[in-house]
Amino acid sequence: MAAPATVAETSLSGLTLVRRGKVRDVYAVDNARLLVVATDRISAFDCILPTQIERKGEVLTQLSRFWFERLSGVTPNHLVTTEVERMPETVRRHAEVLRGRSMLVRAAEVFPVECVVRGYLAGSGWKDYLRAGEVCGHRLPPGLRESEKLPGPIFTPATKAEEGHDENISEARMSEIVGPEVTARLRDTSLRLYAEAEAHALSRGIIIADTKFEFGRDSEGDIILIDEILTPDSSRFWPLAGYDAGGPQPSFDKQFVRDYLETLDWDKRPPAPPLPDGVAASTTARYLEAYRLLTGGEL
Ligand SMILES: Nc1ncnc2c1ncn2[C@@H]1O[C@H](COP(=O)(O)OP(=O)(O)O)[C@@H](O)[C@H]1O
Ligand SMILES: [Mg+2]
């Protein structure tokens, strides 16, 4: 059977689905490992669209793999392999659907905080700054403009909300949740990961305005980096060309989708409308371009 052009949702017999996220389907493989499958679903304005984006799942998975390898000197991570042929037989049976878009990972006990790092002022960081002049307890200089580069990257943790938006919290609040030692460790690691990734991306023409990491404890009790990392779905990527603080920046990957949806009379509540073929195709091209620029290779 030929692999389908896009995958909207997986249903893998013989494996237990533990979570269906906006984009990723997560399965238990055995008691120590999970399979994280990136589908081709795309969300915009917090709604999952009925149209899938060809190659998107592959780009998310292969970009994460690239970064896990590149940043393995900063912190150990959960990745076992992205090669379906090297996965257990229960997974290999579904190779046609899973190839390219799946990560076999070590299951971790997840810390219930999102470790966000911001190098630029956007999104909820910009909103917090406008309201309070600070973000997660970081007092910032007055007069900063939307999308402006911060004097230095800041660690701005958030709670993991099941429904609705994550809530930004201070480091002090994070310490109450996971303890001061873990907080310091996750903060320092997150800042180092961001600094390395941001410098690399910038040299390739992409600004990583902000990004989110997750960490957990493996079966030995060691802290490891988990989830996807430094993908367009977990980060704000802006094209460096044309960057101009003082307003919102175009999204590297989703701008065509947003621009199109803004032309419609849609209230941004589910169900979301479908995308025209041209918009979906241009969006695929953007994901592939992000991969090419960041990794220097072709998918
Ligand atoms: N190694 C791991 N061990 C345990 N949970 C993990 C691991 N890697 C990722 N996860 C969890 O998988 C889930 C992915 O689901 P979710 O974030 O809802 O998907 P999406 O990003 O598609 O919306 C997250 O809750 C994340 O914490
Ligand atoms: Mg997530």
pLDDT digit string, tens, across residues 263-288: 999 999 999 999 999 999 999 999 99
Best residue among 18, 29, 214, 229 to mutate for probing ligand 1, ranked by most atoms within 8 Å of CB: 214
Residues of the chain with pLDDT under 70: 1-4
Please give the distance, rounded to the nearest whole angstrom, from the Cα atom of residue 10 to the centre of ligand 1: 16
Please give the distance, rounded to the nearest whole angstrom, from the Cα atom of residue 141 to the centre of ligand 2: 31
pLDDT in the model for residue 247? 98
Please tell me the number of the ligand nearest to residue 212's CA.
2
Instruction: Assess whether the previous peptide bond of 271 is cis (omega < 30° from 0).
Output: yes
Strand partners of residue 118: 154, 210
Question: Coil, strand, or helix at residue 168?
Answer: strand
Q: Are 156 and 116 in contact (CB under 8 A)?
A: yes
Please tell me the number of the ligand nearest to residue 19's CA.
1
Whose Cα sits closest to atom 20 in ligand 1? 21
The amino acid that residue 88 corresponds to is P
**How many alpha carbons fall within 13 Å on the CB side of residue 297?**
7
DSSP letter, residue 87: S
Q: What is the CA radius of gyration of the chain?
A: 19
> Tens of pLDDT along 40-76?
999 999 999 999 999 999 999 999 999 999 999 999 9
Best residue among 20, 77, 226 to mutate for probing ligand 1, ranked by most atoms within 8 Å of CB: 226
Please tell me the number of the ligand nearest to residue 228's CA.
1
Ligand 1 pocket by Cβ (under 6 Å): 19, 21-24, 26, 34, 36, 78, 105-108, 110, 214, 216, 226-227
pLDDT in the model for residue 3? 56
Read off the pTM. 0.97
pLDDT in the model for residue 161? 82
Please give the distance, rounded to the nearest whole angstrom, from the Cα atom of residue 228 to the centre of ligand 1: 8
